[in-house]
Amino acid sequence: MIVELFSILLLIACCSLQIWGFKKLPSEKWQIMAAIPIRKTGTNVWSAVNYTFYGFFIAISYTFSLAIFILLLGSISISLWTSLFIATLIGLICVPASKLVAILVEKKKHTSTIAGASFVGLILSPWILKILSLFDLKVAFIDKAKVIPILSSLLISYALGEGLGRLACISFGCCYGKPIRSCGRITRKLFANYALIFQGKTKKASYEGGYENEKLVPIQAITSIILVLAATSGIYLFLKGYYFISFISTITISQLWRFISEFLRDDYRGGGKVTAYQIMSLFAFFYIVCVSFFMPPAVSMLPELTRGLSTIWDPIVIIFLNILWFILFYIFGKSTVTASNVALYVVRENI
């Protein structure tokens, strides 16, 4: 019963945040979180660097997904240090990859791509875990029989992180869908009452697509819902001991939906009717499924949720997640495509 209760409460928490985000984040005021003055350009006027809610929600989504990753590994008796080592190693690969793949595919230096980062992570993760399992490392000991459960927990945390991370896309107006008016009759009927309408000229849908105040297919919201459902169902299956089913269901839903969802997007994703990201998603799906059959059989032990919960309550985890949040917020929150001027003055009546 505790597993069911945990899964339901987790889903309710995620859905509550999603419902709020779908309603509020397309608004103009939910794009820029803070403007930090850096250089004086006139009398009491400073040029400022913008920090965005995009970075805020990216940081929240991925620190939360890491907490779930640590919880799942803790539930199958994998040490905290091993969990942190794996997460750090893969993170050090995926964060730079999010920028590099965007440069290679979209020819853009000032953007990042979760699709590219996840593709690189999915391709390399099985072999990273396989290699670590061959060595008796104190800081990262991995039982060969736990490689599949670890892969499953990685996929679950990825799906959860990307699902909640779509709120960041809504805030910035990126990854936007096609205009409702240009869609077929069925699509128009399905989404006319649930369209996302971005406000403000600094939203990416406005300055890149020219879709300010236009009804768009809510592809970010749909993706968010599907991936969060995939992650929470994967968590339930994992905690019930169905590691391989959890693994297969999460990779299938996340990658096949990525392929399908690209047809409903209108932002630039590289040339061609089938984008590079769609090819990546299909390749990653078949690759991971094939590779999984060469991994050792999964351990038969049943996870203990209480052990996992006690793991993430460790002060080391709390400190690590806080530091990670600030690093991610700095990397993804600092805007290089928007700027601002700040006027500073004294409020005389308050002196």
> Residue 347 pLDDT more than 80?
yes
Q: 21-35, 139-153, 167-181, 302-316: which has the minimum mean pLDDT?
A: 139-153
Write down the residue that tokens 């929600």 correspond to. 57
> Residue 325 pLDDT more than 90?
yes
Q: How far is CA 50 from CA 106, 222, 249, in A?
A: 23, 28, 39
Q: How confident is the model at residue 116 (pLDDT cuts 50, 70, 90)?
A: low
Other beta carbons within 10 Å of 103: 15
Give the contacts of 70 (CB within 8 A, at least 6 positions apart): 80, 83, 84, 87, 308, 311, 312, 317
> Residue 220 pLDDT more than 90?
yes
pTM (two decimals) = 0.89
pLDDT mean over 144-168: 90
Q: What is the pLDDT of residue 109?
A: 67
Alpha-carbon distance of 346 to 351, in angstroms, equals 8
- Dihedrals phi, psi of 340, to nearest 5 degrees: -155, 160
> Residue 279 pLDDT more than 90?
no
Alpha-carbon distance of 42 to 58, in angstroms, equals 34
Tokens read off for 272 = 């061609």
pLDDT mean over 234-243: 94
Q: From start to end of 43-120, where are the E strands?
A: 45-52
pLDDT mean over 27-46: 91
- Dihedrals phi, psi of 339, to nearest 5 degrees: -145, 170
Counts of helices then strands in the chain (DSSP H, E): 12, 5
Q: What is the pLDDT of residue 119?
A: 73
pLDDT digits (tens, 9 = 90+) for 190-206: 888 899 999 999 999 99
Please report, in angstroms and rounded to a whole number, the separation of the first and last CA atoms in the chain: 60
DSSP character string of 182-197: GS-HHHHHHHTTT-EE
pLDDT digits (tens, 9 = 90+) for 251-273: 999 999 988 988 888 877 666 67
pLDDT mean over 91-107: 72
Q: What is the pLDDT of residue 136?
A: 67
Q: How confident is the model at residue 50 (pLDDT cuts 50, 70, 90)?
A: very high
- What SS3 state is found at 201? coil
> Residue 14 pLDDT more than 90?
yes
Write down the residue that tokens 């919201």 correspond to. 221
Between 208 and 141, name the one with better pLDDT.
208
Q: How confident is the model at residue 293 (pLDDT cuts 50, 70, 90)?
A: confident
Q: 23-32, 111-120, 214-223, 294-303: which has the minimum mean pLDDT?
A: 111-120
Computed over every residue of the chain, the mean pLDDT equals 87
- Dihedrals phi, psi of 177, to nearest 5 degrees: -90, 180
Alpha-carbon distance of 142 to 298, in angstroms, equals 12
343: alpha, beta or left, given left = phi > 0 and alpha = psi -120 to 50?
A: beta
Percent of the chain predicted with pLDDT > 70? 91
Residue ranges of alpha helices (H) inside 192-275 are 204-207, 219-239, 243-261
Domain ranges of the chain: 2-32+57-337
> Residue 140 pLDDT more than 80?
no
